[in-house]
Each structure stands twice: as C-alpha cells, then as structure tokens.
A and B are shown apart, each in its own frame.
Chain A
Amino acid sequence: MKLREVAERLGLEFLVAADPEAEVRGGYVSDLLSDVLAHAEAGDLWITHQRHLNVVAVAKLRGVAGVVLARGLRPGPETLQRAQQEGVNLLTSPADAFDTAGRLHRLLAP
C-alpha cells in the first residue's frame, strides 16, 4: 500500500513528504537505533519517539518507507531540514505507538 494511502487511513500528518508514493510493506516499532538497523526491513514504516538528526540517517540506511513519530511528536527544524535533504518521509501520528502500530497492522494484514 502506498504511504499516501496509509497516511490517510491512519490519520497521519506528513511533516516531510519526500516520496508519498513509497510502498509500505510492514512496520517496525523501536526507539533503539541499532535495533532498527539490525531488524527493521526495507519498506517498513518505522514508528518511534526519537526525533533527533540521527533518525534520518538510520531511516535512510535501512531504507524504511518512512518515519512516524508517535503521540503527535514533532522534530526540530534541523531534523526536518535533514529529512528533506536526504529524501526521507517524516510523519507524525496523533495516536500513541501502540495504537498507531495496531492500526497499521490491521491495514496491512486485515
């Protein structure tokens, strides 16, 4: 499913829409960067509470479809700018990580 459609269905807000047509194949929830590097899959939507600059590097290295900040969290201008530069989709979800992941799972594996 395209990220654009996932965002609509889950009520996610795009903070950086680098490639809304990216294909979302799954999801991963973690706040540990090395854990994401080790276990997230390319095409996953990464749900996290981390919002500093290095999140962009990890997202790009792992090839995730996008980063979703839980609980309506928003990053500072530096992170937004880096995500734009690197072409990383960045979104925020009004729901907490549990609900966001649950809804995503229902959407992708009904």
Chain B
Amino acid sequence: MTSPAPLRHKEIFPVVGLDLEHAGQVSTEVQRVLRRLGVEAEVVRRAGIVCFEGEMNIVLYTPGGRIILLVYDDRVELIFSDQGPGIPDIELARQPGYSTAPDWARELGFGSGMGLPNMEANSDRLEIRSRLGEGTVIRATFFRRRDEAAGSGGAAGA
C-alpha cells in the first residue's frame, strides 16, 4: 500500500508525560511546519487536531514519548509512540465515550472519551499497535489531494 513518493520532511518532537503546561505545543508547531512546507490547508487542519489528541494521550496517560512528523508528496504521517502502560482493549478504547482518565484530567476538560474517535474521524487511516506494559504506537495517515487544494473545480473521485 505504501507508495514510493519521496520523503520531503522529517521531524521528531519529544513529549513529556504529565507536563500539562507545554502540552498542545507540538500540534501548534506541526501546523506551523506543514504550512511552511505548503501542505494543503485541509490536511493542516486535520493533522493539527489529530496531533493534539495524540499528544494529550501521551501527556495524560504515559511517562512520555515522541511524535514523528513525516511529509511526503502524496501524504502526511504522524507517528505517536510512548512508553506507557499500553491499551488492554483497543476496540473498546476506540469507542466514543470510553475513557480511563483520572478525575483531575476530566476537570480540565480532558478524558471525555473522544480522543481516539477524533483521531479516526480526522485522519484517512489510523493504525494502533499496543503492548501491555511496553507502550503504544499510533500511525495516522493523511492523503494529500492537491487537485482540490488548487481549486481545479471538477468532481473527480478521490
């Protein structure tokens, strides 16, 4: 499935667990980088939201991890990896409203059980791999549709 499009940009952002003060900054920075690279606004918007949710998952539930941004001609990928406790039941965790967030996180408006559903809704593909006691890796893929961004009109199928 992976196309041979060349890699245009790679950047690694460390994420510190439980550091709410800096949480959310990676998503802002990722959007800045994507805009600078001329990535389509619609992909920038979706990638920003997915990045925020993935970043908050690392901050709220793990001691830390990192986010890798990969920009290709035909797609953007965000890879979230952490050394957290892992997800015991991924299907359950994907369900809207399911959350294991502690009270302090909920009081701040996190942990409403919409993180993974938001990541799914805003990416074109979401792969989750998790091992209990070792960590979780999530890869979100966004396909670039440059014909649409260029405003070429036509109703060509995607």
Binding site for B on A (CB under 8 A): 31-35, 37-38, 48, 50, 52-58, 60-63, 78, 86
With beta carbons under 8 angstroms apart, the residue of A37, A52, A57 that contacts B108 is: A52
A32 and B49 contacting across the interface, CB-CB below 8 Å: no
Complex: how many Å from CA A63 to CA B28? Answer: 12
Let me know if B23 and A54 touch, CB within 8 A: yes
Which one of A33, A37, A52, A60 lies within 8 Å of B28 (CB-CB)?
A60
Q: What number of A-B contacts does a CB cutoff of 8 Å give?
A: 63
Tell which of B20, B48, B112, B117 touches A61, judged by Cβ atoms closer than 8 Å.
Answer: B48
Contact among B52, B114, B115, B121 with A57 in the assembled complex (CB-CB below 8 Å): B52
The contact of B118 among A31, A37, A63, by CB within 8 Å, is A37
Kindly list chain A residues whose C-beta atoms are within 8 Å of the C-beta of B31. Answer: 61
Chain B residues whose C-beta falls within 8 Å of the C-beta of A60 in the assembled complex:
28
| Residues B114 and A78 in contact, CB atoms below 8 Å apart | no
Q: How far is the CA of A60 from the CA of B31 in the complex (A)?
A: 10
- Give the CA-CA distance A40 to B52 in the complex, in Å: 15
Minimum C-beta distance from A68 to chain B (A): 15
Judging by beta carbons under 8 Å apart, are A53 and B114 in contact? no
Chain B residue nearest in CB terms to A50 = B109
CB-CB under 8 A from B21, the residues of chain A are 53, 78
1/0 contact trace for B91-131 toward A, CB 8 Å? 00000000000000000111010110110010000000000
Name 30 interchain pairs, CB-CB below 8 A, sorted by A.
Answer: A31-B109, A32-B114, A33-B56, A34-B53, A34-B110, A34-B115, A34-B118, A37-B53, A37-B118, A38-B114, A38-B121, A48-B109, A50-B109, A52-B20, A53-B20, A53-B23, A53-B24, A54-B20, A54-B56, A55-B109, A57-B24, A57-B25, A57-B27, A57-B28, A61-B27, A61-B45, A61-B48, A61-B52, A63-B45, A78-B21
Is the pair A34, B20 in contact by a Cβ cutoff of 8 Å? no
Which residue of chain B has its CB nearest to the CB of A37?
B49
Contact partner of A35 among B23, B28, B112, B121, CB < 8 A? B112
